[in-house]
Amino acid sequence: MVEEVKLLKTWSSPFGLRPIWALKLKCIQYESIDEDLSNKSALLLQLNPIYQKIPVLVHNRKPISESLVILEYLDQTWTQNPIMPQHPLEKARQRFWAKFNDEKYFTNSLLHLLPSIWSVFTKEGKQREEAMEELVENLKLAEEELQGKRFFRGHKIGVADFDFGWLANLISVFEQVTGFKVIDGTFPLLSTWI
């Protein structure tokens, strides 16, 4: 039986990037469907009637919503190139860092951006300095987690890497627009990871 796999996403969403990377790592063929979130399709509203947002993975006509849930589903359904470790403690650590990323770096705003980075864009003076300090403190925690490792999981890429992957995708834009160098010599491990 041929597996039917579709992914509803937007090109700019960090949440949509997570399952794309997992699908590619696992060599899963899929159909990509781009959504216009300002004019949501009937398909999106049908597949995700509760949250009405992307990403949505459709596997053999069954929808799965929420990027981290999709990652777990992909890992349990297609076991090649696992993105979650088998050991319960390591699995818990991966879930912790994914949750940390979502809680510290994302808000429920339409922009879904790190609040301190967004503040660097929109604030001035003392408030902008405070936003940069918050950003630096959060990045220090990620830097510490990478000590002695190539990836957040260790020697293999994992869920936390997919979760933090938006940094690699967007940080240079933030740096160029704000004039602040976020990933520099202060964060050599993050810089290498990116």
Domain membership of residue 184 as a residue range: 88-193
In whole angstroms, what is the distance from residue 89 CA to residue 95 CA?
10
Average pLDDT, stretch 124-133? Answer: 82
Position 119 pLDDT exceeds 90: no
Domain with residue 16: its CATH number is: 3.40.30.10
* Residue 83 is assigned to a structural domain of this protein: no
pLDDT value at residue 117: 65
30: helix, coil or strand? coil
Q: Mark which of 57, 77, 97 sits at the end of a domain.
A: 77
| Tokens, residue 113 | 């951006």
Average of per-residue pLDDT values in the chain? 85
Q: How many domains does the chain have?
A: 2
Q: ∠ at Cα 118 (117, 124), nearest 5°?
A: 95
Whether the per-residue pLDDT at 20 is higher than 90: the answer is: yes
Is 0.85 surpassed by the pTM of this model?
no
The answer to whether position 82 is within a domain reads: no
188 with 92, same domain: the answer is: yes
Summarize pLDDT for 53-82 with one digit per residue, the tens. Answer: 999 999 999 999 999 999 999 999 999 999
DSSP state of 2: P
pLDDT-derived band at 104 (thresholds 50, 70, 90) equals: low
What pLDDT does 108 receive?
40
The answer as to whether 59 is a domain residue is yes
Residues 175 and 129 in one domain: yes
pLDDT for the residue numbered 132 = 77
- β-sheet bridge partners, residue 128: none
**Of the residues 77, 111, 135, the one at which a domain ends:** 77
Rg of the chain on CA atoms, in Å: 18
